[in-house]
Amino acid sequence: MIQEFKKVIKSYVIGMLWLLGLLWPMLGIHPDGTLTFQKTVTVWSYIVAGSFVCLLIYVMKNSGALDFVAKPLAGVSSNLKSASNTLPTWVWIVVILVAACLYPQFTNRYATDVAINVLLYICLGLGLNVVVGLAGMLDLGYIAFYGVGAYTYALLNTVYGVGFWFSLPACALTACIAGCIVGYPTLRMRGDYLAIVTLGFGEIIRLILNNWMSVTNGPNGILGIDRISWFRFVFEDGMTFEHMWVKKLQLFYYFALGLAVFTAIGVNRLNYSRVGRAWESIREDETAAELMGVNTFIYKLLAYAMGAVFAGLAGAFFAARMKFVSPESFTFLESAMVLCMVVLGGMGSIPGIILGVMALIALPEVFREFEAYRMLVFGATMIIMMLFRPAGLIPAKRMGTRSEEKEG
């Protein structure tokens, strides 16, 4: 154990000295021809202190020195687990739904706004999960379909005056068509090539939105999109419909909640259907799946299109909430952020993704002062998750291991 500890400390010291060497040129060389060390050393010492604490906890946990804390904690968590298992799953779902329904009644406007954001990202995360988690294809251009959905509603509404609910199927349809157009040529590739090509397509769609001035109004975006309207009967002279604009944020929250629940149910049903099993077989071993008679191309295209449909629906809600769309909302960083949520929560696991979204959207709102470090933390989270817990916070329940992992 001492030997191991020495090894860890040695690599830690080397790593920290290496970091100092990296930081100094960026922080210590000034254009006025002076060299300073103070700022570098300050930043560095913060990092050293923070990481040393983490390292100490990690080493102590591995060596068993923290057993007096870890044992009771493990006991508590296993008790919780058994307690949660005694209650059927639907009870938990009902509890969570009730909590979600009551949430806006007890919070202010700002908190509701954040919650709407969380719900839309849950939708996006679950949609991406179909592609990445279920079918095992890394998609880096996912946010483009969100953009397609948002622009479809924006254009239908501002140019043709179509209402929200009539636009919604159209948004799903255009996103689906976009998914098929992108998916058709790309899905013959696998793994990392697929990732880079989807990234390319995502950028192409964004560039089209940015440059097609006559239709999308380019970088200025589209203003004045209507809110969600809903219809009610009016019985004055004969039966007619009249629409009411949803002004209150709370009502919008409930619509977004409905969308998130719809997505969660949809993804869950897909997962346990014949299609879901086909996806799983493709994810585990594509060649074997093809040999067993799974039409891999069609199923991959289907996964891609399904993911795009959920993104398109979320996009329509996004446009209705912001009342404004511009290509800037659909950059690669957004894609990476959604992917980070899926990875953090656990690929293929619905509760995991919900947790991941909450962690990455709601927590930064709590730590507002550290806003600038947000993307830095996202990047670091992705690396750390991959190094220490590749299956995510709440790993998906699945049998066996991936064939790739076994090969080594």
Partner 1 sequence: MEYFIQQLINGLTLGGMYALIALGYTMVYGVIQLINFAHGEFFAAGGYIGAIVLAYFAGVGYMESHPIICLTASFMIAMAYCAYLAIGVEKIAYKPLRKQSRLSALLSALGMSIFLSNGMMLTQGVYDAIYPSELFQGRFDFGMISVSYLQVTIVTLTAALLVGLNILVFKTKIGMAMRATAQDKTMSALVAISSNRIISLTFAIGAGLAASAGIMYGLYYGSVKYDMGFVPGIKAFAAAVLGGIGNITGAMLGGLIIGMVEIFGAGYISGEYKDVFAFIILIAVLYFKPTGIMGENIDDTRV
Mark residue 63 as left, alpha or beta (left: phi above 0; alpha: psi -120 to 50; beta: remaining): alpha
Measured between alpha carbons, how far is 154 from 150 in angstroms, rounded to an integer?
6
Which span (13-21, 79-87, 220-228, 306-314) binds partner 1, by CB under 8 A?
13-21
Identified binder of partner 1 from the candidate list 111, 332, 364, 395, rule CB under 8 A: 332
Tokens of 339: 């992917």
Of residues 355-394, which lie at the interface with partner 1 (CB under 8 A)?
372-373, 375-376, 378-383, 386-387, 390
Q: By C-beta, is 15 or 64 nearer to partner 1?
A: 15
Q: Which residues pair with 361 in a beta bridge?
A: none
CB of 364 to partner 1, least distance (A): 13
Identified binder of partner 1 from the candidate list 21, 50, 75, 258, rule CB under 8 A: 21
Measured between alpha carbons, how far is 370 from 337 in angstroms, rounded to an integer?
17
Identified binder of partner 1 from the candidate list 189, 261, 358, 394, rule CB under 8 A: 189
Instruction: Count the neighbouring beta carbons within 10 Å of the beta carbon of residue 218.
Output: 14
Q: Interface with partner 1 includes 10 (CB under 8 A)? A: no
Instruction: Count the neighbouring beta carbons within 10 Å of the beta carbon of residue 8.
Output: 14
CB of 43 to partner 1, least distance (A): 8
Q: By C-beta, is 167 or 329 nearer to partner 1?
A: 329
Measured between alpha carbons, how far is 222 from 220 in angstroms, rounded to an integer?
7
Q: Interface with partner 1 includes 22 (CB under 8 A)? A: yes
Of residues 152-171, which lie at the interface with partner 1 (CB under 8 A)?
none
Measured between alpha carbons, how far is 19 from 55 in angstroms, rounded to an integer?
16
Instruction: Count the neighbouring beta carbons within 10 Å of the beta carbon of residue 60.
Output: 15
Identified binder of partner 1 from the candidate list 135, 140, 222, 301, rule CB under 8 A: 140
Q: Going residue by residue from 195 to 224, which x/- string records binding to partner 1, judged by CB under 8 A?
A: xxx-xxx-xx--x--xx-------------
Residue count (the chain): 408
Tokens of 163: 């209402």
Q: By C-beta, is 259 or 336 nearer to partner 1?
A: 336
Please say whether the beta carbons of 214 and 232 come within 8 A. no
The bridge status of strand 324-325 relative to strand 222-223 is antiparallel
Of residues 269-308, which lie at the interface with partner 1 (CB under 8 A)?
287
Measured between alpha carbons, how far is 335 from 354 in angstroms, rounded to an integer?
17
Which span (86-94, 145-153, 314-322, 338-346) binds partner 1, by CB under 8 A?
338-346
Measured between alpha carbons, how far is 135 from 402 in angstroms, rounded to an integer?
12
Residues contributing to the site for partner 1 (CB under 8 A): 15, 18-19, 21-23, 25-27, 29-35, 136, 138, 140, 185-186, 188-193, 195-197, 199-201, 203-204, 207, 210-211, 287, 332-333, 336, 339-340, 343, 372-373, 375-376, 378-383, 386-387, 390, 402, 404-405, 408
